[in-house]
Structure 1
């Protein structure tokens, strides 16, 4: 079953879309939509090019980055990730972000899943990859990135998850994936 087969009776049709904001990372629109029952409703939509997230495994450890996130006001422990640039393939973004954030390259990187972060109001689709057989080199951070590299033994992941050390959804999905495939 696919997400688009035989579900036409659930689709909404965008009748009018007004751009409210267009920034470096997101665009926001107010949309008037025609509902399946013929009524009209309003939607606020955050448009995003998507992102990649990478499960980086090396010598029985998983690699994370610790960085401050302004929207949460917290320092968050996350798997390496980054925004897919316009006209950039997610596979290329994954390789680029792995090198930028933890200074790693991999001859064995593959896509696992795609998932929406908040489909009720945002179009952001995350492409989750796993990189094994990584080779560590130097980080290549962008000028506005400040983060620490953290490596956690695979044997400690469950305990760290249960203690609530991971508060980021993509990271929790990644850790659950690793725990279910150990």
Structure 2
């Protein structure tokens, strides 16, 4: 007697209760004023980006090891802690950090809470970010008109800290700053 197993055909949208982009949006809400999120990768919702009162953007994705990862490149404009104290279960990796034991069964809000705690630790902004809000529009530490004609970041493979060369230094030569 042979048994035929029917292929799995779940209804669209029922396999997972939320998308990665939903986690990014929930995280931005938890981070509060000055933070926002957008879905990237079109309408698929397979990645999400959190933007805030700093130049660094945080991209939410799932890596090849099935870890919920928050990828980011340090900007030379941001004054983040050299060695942030990451929350339990948040592990540093080449792309940024990942949530070690995160699972979709944890639920949207608990995942967003853990991601928000990780971003607060990375940025050093804590629960409030008055450090960036208190500066005027033309003062360092604000997010006014960044990116136009400016190159931020460090070369791939560098930690973005210490003696690693900045992209602008390689493109334009070392400037006295």
Q: If each structure's helix is expressed as a fraction of its own residues, which one has the higher value?
A: 2
Q: Which has the higher contact order (CA 8 A, sep 6+)?
A: 1
TM-score normalised according to structure 1 size: 0.26
TM-score normalised according to structure 2 size: 0.26
Q: If each structure's strand is expressed as a fraction of its own residues, which one has the higher value?
A: 1
